Structure 1
Amino acid sequence: MTNVDQRAVLERLIQERREDYASLSRLIGRNSAYIQQFIRRGVPKRLSESDRHTLARYFGISEVELGGPGHDSSDASRTSSSLIPVPRLNVDASAGPGAFNDSESENAHIGFDERWLRRVSRSKSSDLSVIKVQGDSMTPTLSDGDDILVDAGDGVERLRDGIYVLRRDDVLLVKRIAPSPASRRIIIQSDNDSYPSWPDCELADVDIIGRVVWVGRRLR
C-alpha cells in the first residue's frame, strides 16, 4: 500500500466516523495538527509503527489498511473489540459554572470497550464525555468524586425519567429529572432528601446537557 493510500483510507475513516483531526492527533500523543498535516500535506511521509497500531485499534481495522505488514496480529481486531477513547473533562457537575464541551477542558481520555459502549449508548463517540460528581446531593445513587459518563446525544429531544447533567442559572448540576407527560414542565430532584428539589420547572429555563449512562467510583 502506498503512502497516498494510507492517507486516503484515514481520511475516509474520519469522515465516516465523524471524527476530527485534532482529537486523533491527541490520541496518538501528537500535536493537534499532526493528522491533518499527514493527510493534506504528506508530512510525515508515513505513519510510525506505534501510531499506525493505535489508529488501527481505535478504528477496529487491520494495520494492513493503514500500510502495515501483510500479515500481523492486529488482523484479529476485525473480530475483536477496540477501545474508544472518551475525553475526561476538567469539569465538576454541581460545581459550575463553566463550559461543558470546551475542548480545552479535556485533561485525559478513558478507554471504553467498543462493544460495551454501544450497549450503553447509541450516540457517536464524540457525544460522550466523562466528568466528576461533586457533592452529596445525589447520594446514595451518586457519590462525591464519582466519574459519570454523559451522553450529550441523548438530551432534551428524548427526555424521559432518569439522571441528567443540566445547566440552570449558569450552574452545572447532576439531578434526576421527571418530565410531565402533559406539558413542557419537569421535576428536578435530588436523591438525597436533605437537599431541595424543584417540583415545577419550565423546560425552557433549563439547558439539558446529556443523560448519565454509567458511573464509576473508587472503593473506599
Structure 2
Amino acid sequence: MLKGKTAVITGGVRGIGKAIAKAFCRNGANVILCYRSNDAEAEKTAAELSGFGPQVKLVKGDVADPETAKRVAGLIKDEFDKKVDILVNNAGITNDKLMMRMSDEDFTKVIDANLNGTFYMMKELSALMVKKKNGVIINMASVSGLKGNPAQVNYSASKAGIVGMTLSAAKELGRRGIRVNAIAPGFIETDMTAVLTDEQKETAAKNITLGRLGQPEDIANAALFLASDMGAYITGQVISVDGGIIM
C-alpha cells in the first residue's frame, strides 16, 4: 500500500506513534521517526522496524523547537532526494490540572509541544510536498479537542487548535495535491493510561459505546487508510476513532 513512500512520524518510537510506524513499514514505507529523549527505546524501535525491510531513520529533538522540523527537512533533502510523502504529527504531551491551579508555564508548555510543534512540522515538510505536488498530512487531534475535558484546558485547547489548523491547511494545500486530515483518538491504552487502575479503566469503558478501550493499532489502521490511495479523495476531515465515546 505504501511501497516506496517516505513517512515522517513524530513521537514515533512508542505507543500510537510506534503502532503507526509498524503499520507503515509493514506496507513498504521508509520511516523517519522523531523522538525527544529516550535513546534506548528509539534504537530498539528502529531495530524492530528495520526487520520489515524499509529504511528507518531516527531524529532526536523536541518538536516544540522549530529547529527540529528544519533538521528533519534537511535529512529528507540529503538522504531521500527531497521527497517526503507522508507526515504524521503524533508527538504530544499532557499536563493535567484544574484551570485555577494551572500556571502560565503549565499551559504554554502543552501548547508549544502539541500545537506549535504540529505547525512547525507542517510548515517545513509541506514546502517539500508542494514541490512534488503530492503528499499526505495526518495530524493527531483528540476527542478532548472536540468536547473538552475537566483539568485539560491546556490539552483540549491544543487539540482544538490542531483541528482548526488541519481544516485551514487542507484548504490551503488541496490544489497543490496535498491532503490534510486529523484523527481524534478516544481512550486508547498507552503509557499515558497505564497509570490508571483496572477499576478506573472499567469505569471509562462503561462510557464507551463499544464497551472497551481502544488499542494503538486502532489508530494505526485509520492512519494507514488515510495515508494510502484508499483515502485519495478524503481531505479536511477529522475522523474520531473513539469507540463511540462522543456520540
Normalising by structure 2, report the TM-score. 0.24
Structure with the larger RCO, 1 or 2 (CA within 8 Å, 6+ apart)? 2
Give the number of the structure whose alpha-carbon radius of gyration is greater: 1
- Higher relative helix content: 2
Normalising by structure 1, report the TM-score. 0.26
